[in-house]
Amino acid sequence: MRHFLILCTGLLATPALAAPNVVTDIAPVQSLVAMVMGDLGDPVLLLPAGADPHDFQLRPSQARAIADAGLVVWVGDPLSPWLGRVYSGIGAKAPMLTLMDAAQTELRPFGDTAPHDHETAAHDHDAGGHDAHGPETGDHDHDGSDPHVWLDPQNAAAWLPLIAAELAKLDPGNAATYAANAVTGQAEIAAAEADIAALLAPVAHKPFVTFHDAYGYFTGHFGLTTAGSVRMGDTATPGAAHLSELREGLRSGSVVCIFPEVNHNPAQIAQLTEGTTTRPGAALDPAGVMLTPGPGLYNQMMRSIAVTLSDCLSQP
């Protein structure tokens, strides 16, 4: 009897297995992982609020977080080469879920804003772009795939079960919880997607310009009409010929709005619109860097982009 009580006491004192330590690159990815983990854990976000995902240097403490991670979830090297370099440099052992490389991810080339059929469109992982985000300039090769893949809500929804499956490998005791959270997260994304579609439908035909070429997944999915961008890359300085062509388009009166972006000086937008009828809109935040991280960030970010577009484009 005494041995039985000791055994029971030992079992009761055994702590529950902790959820894996998960490290993520950018806020939208952290949000999606947080949806799946729920109350079981809080994924680490490497990119701090207000930082630029295209040009970032990891601190030693963040490198240690990667070394200690049980799982790394990131968009991929074209967006976050700083993470890939540190991961390789420190000899990290954690498995990596690279969302751009997932078979379920619908990729687009830069400049493609046409609606895609997620049921039939081919997914070409060899289309380029995985080494295009150079470490020296941080710019994208526009012959490759656009890495802003999270701005298509169907991509985000498709990733949730993948994240759940990776977590279940490391924490099989909570596999059912991860799977259920993924299903709940997909329903929440679908609800936000429907709201955004309804909000943007009345302005879908109105042309607009963005600060840089990052919104093809969003505009293509929701059938919006784009008229170009100030910068073709994330850090590339636009040439005089491109700016002249863009300004001529604004002067023609065909472009309704032009949108600056967080982390970038809006002065260039003001210069371009001077003497035109094109309205400057509020700044867009395509990576949610100005929002509070957590499971609600992804849908909040997507709704915020939609509201910002609609507020300007819907004006008479």
pLDDT per residue over 269-307, tens digit each? 888 888 899 999 999 999 999 999 999 999 999 999 999
- Give me the sheet containing 208-212, strands edge to edge: 226-231, 208-212, 257-259, 279-280
pLDDT at 124: 43
pLDDT at 135: 30
pLDDT at 234: 57
pLDDT at 240: 74
Percent of the chain with pLDDT over 70: 81
CA-to-CA distance for 204 and 309, rounded, in angstroms? Answer: 10
Domains of the chain: 19-113+149-196 (3.40.50.1980), 202-313 (3.40.50.1980)
Q: What is the pLDDT of residues 226-246, one digit of tens each?
A: 999 997 665 567 677 777 788
- The Cα-based distances of 60 to 42, 64, 65, 86, 184 in angstroms read 20, 6, 9, 10, 36
Quickly state the pLDDT bin for 15 (edges 50, 70, 90). very low
Asked if residue 294 lies in contact with residue 300, where contact means CB atoms within 8 angstroms, the answer is: no
Grouping H, G, I as helix, E, B as strand and the rest as coil, residue 83 is helix
Q: What is the pLDDT of residues 138-194, one digit of tens each?
A: 333 445 799 999 999 999 999 999 999 999 999 999 999 999 999 999 999 999 999
First to last CA, the chain: 83
What are the structure tokens assigned to 235, written together? 């850090």
CA-to-CA distance for 104 and 209, rounded, in angstroms? Answer: 29
User: What is the pLDDT averaged over residues 62-72?
Assistant: 96
